[in-house]
Structure 1
Amino acid sequence: MTTALIVIDVQESFRQQPSWADISAPDITKRITRLVDAAREADHVVAWVLHTAPGSNGPFDPVNGLIELQPGLKRREGDITVLKTSHNAFTTTNLGQQLMSRKVDHLRIVGIRTEQCVETTARLASDMGYSVEVVIDATATHPLPLTECSGVLPADDLIARTAAALSGRFARITTIAEVVASWRP
């Protein structure tokens, strides 16, 4: 089994928005760095996925210079990097082809917007035949407004809902400690 760590949307675009103050894991880069270091030590593939919205004139528009990894995260030669314009990491990128060329069949997915881009990528990856894990404590999200009823769904509830929806159906739910321990020789 060849494994890839897929890091989704841990980019400056999110950190520069006012909603960053409400992110569920402000230390997300430290959490991700721990996994990236362990993946590299185990000689696994690391893939960086960054969201773009060309022409939006917002934080995800490449012309604004925020489509870059958050400070503390470092790409290396040999890593995969793709820019996406959809919620999942596959539809608008060549990520699938790059993973296939490296014979990757197992994905560990982490990143920002647990219930959106992380979950959507996990579902699609499972449908594509990958063995999928979501490292749930290496994901982050914001509280989500419920516009129809004027409420707010807390970030922790969103993360728990995502874990429940994916677990046993589309992905195995794991933790940073479990993953790091499994990658030790």
Structure 2
Amino acid sequence: MKIPAKETALVVIDMQTILFDPEPPEAEAVVARINGLASRAREAGVPVVWVQHETASGDLVAETPGWQLHPGLMATPSDLFVRKKMSDAFLRTELHALLAERGVRHVTVCGYSSEFCVDSSVRGAASRGYAVTLAADAHTSHDKPHATGLQIRLHENETLRNISSFHVAIDAVPAAEIAFG
């Protein structure tokens, strides 16, 4: 799937160290897929946005070791960084403004956690008029009592791609099939 680079951004949700201790399913593969997406995005001039969740106490206090991006990720100083305090990366953050000033109308989304912050951010993007491509195999979640992390990812891919009420396209495509340009 070729995505126009001029109006696109890659948005990486909550890929933070503490959230990978213990590792969710396919953790290394998800990190590698995100690095591949980020590299292809940068080569095409597409902004890469790293979103980090923060809390007032606990393991996600800003600037603490657990809050930092997963050590396997290859962020660069030219990337954009956004902090959030709610599951939706667009809610009460500067993300929408950063994207709007760059003329972005489409976001490719990946990261952690499939059923919480990734889901909320995809819906938040769509509610603001962004077309969305969910990198179908570049988001993850821990196993839960009712479903494995891989089942949750599959459920989110199917659920999100079938939402039409936002009147924008939401698709779920394997990371290797996403090309910017």
Same structural fold, with TM-score higher than 0.5 when normalized by the shorter chain: yes
Residues 1:14 and 2:14 are matched in the alignment? no
Q: Normalising by structure 2, what TM-score?
A: 0.87
Q: Give the letter for the 2:152 counterpart.
A: L
- Picking from 141, 154, 159, the partner of 1:165 is 159
Equivalence map 1:1-185=2 (5 Å): 1-15=6-20, 17=21, 20-21=22-23, 23-27=24-28, 28-54=30-56, 56=57, 58-62=58-62, 64-145=64-145, 152-169=146-163, 171-179=170-178, 182-183=179-180
For these two proteins, the number of residue pairs brought into alignment is: 170
Partners in 2 of 1:63 and 1:106 — Cα distance? 30
Partners in 2 of 1:173 and 1:67 — Cα distance? 28
Query: By how many angstroms is 1:60 displaced?
Result: 1.0
Q: Give the letter for the 1:3 counterpart.
A: T
Structure number with bigger Rg: 1
Using CA pairs under 8 Å that are at least 6 residues apart, name the structure with larger relative contact order, 1 or 2. Answer: 2
| TM superposition outliers: structure 1 runs of 4+ over 4 Å | none
Q: Normalising by structure 1, what TM-score?
A: 0.86
Q: Give the letter for the 1:46 counterpart.
A: V
Q: Structure 1 unaligned runs (5+)? A: 146-151
Distance 1:168 1:79, change over 3 A: same
Q: Structure 2 unaligned runs (5+)? A: 1-5, 165-169
Query: By how many angstroms is 1:63 displaced?
Result: 6.2
Cα RMSD over matched residues?
1.6
Contact 1:7-1:49 within 8 A present in 2 as well? yes
